[in-house]
Structure formats: structure tokens, C-alpha cells
Structure 1
Amino acid sequence: MAYCAPHGIPYSVLMGRVVGPGEPEWTEEDTALAVEWQRMQDATCSGCGQQLHESLTDDGGYETEIVRCHGCKAKEKRAEDLGKTKSDTAGVRIVVRHLPEEN
């Protein structure tokens, strides 16, 4: 659905269903999948990827880890060589994890 929904493509069509004459392009299942995908997107923070119902109310239950994407590092290094950027954080990404509640 991450590809289908933003492009307006029914999931069943992406998976090979051929829409015949007089048949609806979107099946009930396609519509349900798209609505559920959008619901999940709306419930997720676009910044950290955490569930909003938790992240908007819980201020201490998270841990972060710094990781480095070596592909992005190489790309940014190349741009730096071309004089386009100067960064000591090339390829750095911060992963956020919600910690389980302690009982």
C-alpha cells in the first residue's frame, strides 16, 4: 500500500488483477486497504515514525541510537568533494524506539 495509495492504484490491480468491462477499478477490499493504510499514516509521526497516541502523551519512554548509512555517507562525501556541501554528519540517521512500560 505504501506504493499503491500515493499513486491511486488499487492493490489488487498492482498484484495482477485485470479490470474487465463493467467491473469497478477499486474492489471493496482495495478500498478497505487504502483506508487502513491512510489511518496508519495519520496515526504515525512523520518525524520519528512513532505512534502519535503514545508520542504526544509520553515524554520519557524513548531511546535513540545513532546509525550511519554508508551509502549516504559516500554520496554526501562526493558532494563535499564537488564543493557543494560540508558536513561532519554525512550519512548519520537517528533511530527512535519506544521503550516498553515498566511495571
Structure 2
Amino acid sequence: MGRAVPPGEPEWTQEDTLLAIEWQRLQDETCQCGHLLSESLDEANEYEPKRITCFACQAKERAERAASEREGADLSGHKITVTLVGRRPVVGD
């Protein structure tokens, strides 16, 4: 996304700059796990882990493993992407 910048106009509007600063502030205040550092670094807070399965990641990782196990497979630079192609019926749906 973007906008066409007419000649003589600034590339970044004041709003663009404020939004970028806010985005960076949120990045700086958020752990890679997605929780705010102000909460997650407080020893008094307790967290409960929950195991989940991302079926898109599962399909991707299985394809990567299969490709790497093939004899002579050079995967340098190769990327595997995942696309939702449909939905299987689930018991109870």
C-alpha cells in the first residue's frame, strides 16, 4: 500500500510519521512472544503455556522435511509457501 506522491509534496505526511513512530514504539515494547514487556518482565505475573497446532506450519514443515530428506536435495534459497485450498469436514460441524 502506498500513495502517489505528487511533485513537490513530502514523501511522508505528518500522519505517516506519527503512525511510524507509534508502530516502532509498539515493536520496542513487545516481546517476540507477542506480550507487552511491561507485563511479561514482571516476576509477579504468571503465564500458562498452551500447546497449539498451526496446521499451515505443520504442512509447510512436513514439506520442508520431505524435501531435505530426498537424496541430493539442495534447498539453498528455496521457500515453501502454504495456501488455504479448502476445508475438510470436521466431526461436529
Provide the identity percentage: 51
TM-score (norm 1): 0.57
Shift of 1:78: 2.8
TM-score under structure 2 length normalisation: 0.62
More contact order relative to length (CA 8 Å, sep ≥ 6): 1
1:36 to 2:22 alignment? yes
Say yes or no: does 1:66 pair with 2:51.
yes
1 or 2, which has the higher strand percentage? 1
Aligned CA distance change for structure 1 residues 53 and 60 (closer, same or farther; 3 Å):
closer
- List gaps (5 residues or longer) in structure 1: 1-12, 85-103
Partner of 2:13: 27
Number of residue equivalences: 69
- 5+ residue gaps in structure 2? 71-93
The residue aligned with 2:34 is 49
How far apart, CA to CA, are the structure 1 residues paired with 2:25 and 2:41?
Answer: 17
CA distance in 1, matches of 2:9, 2:64: 51
Identify the match of residue 61 of structure 2 among 73, 76, 88: 76
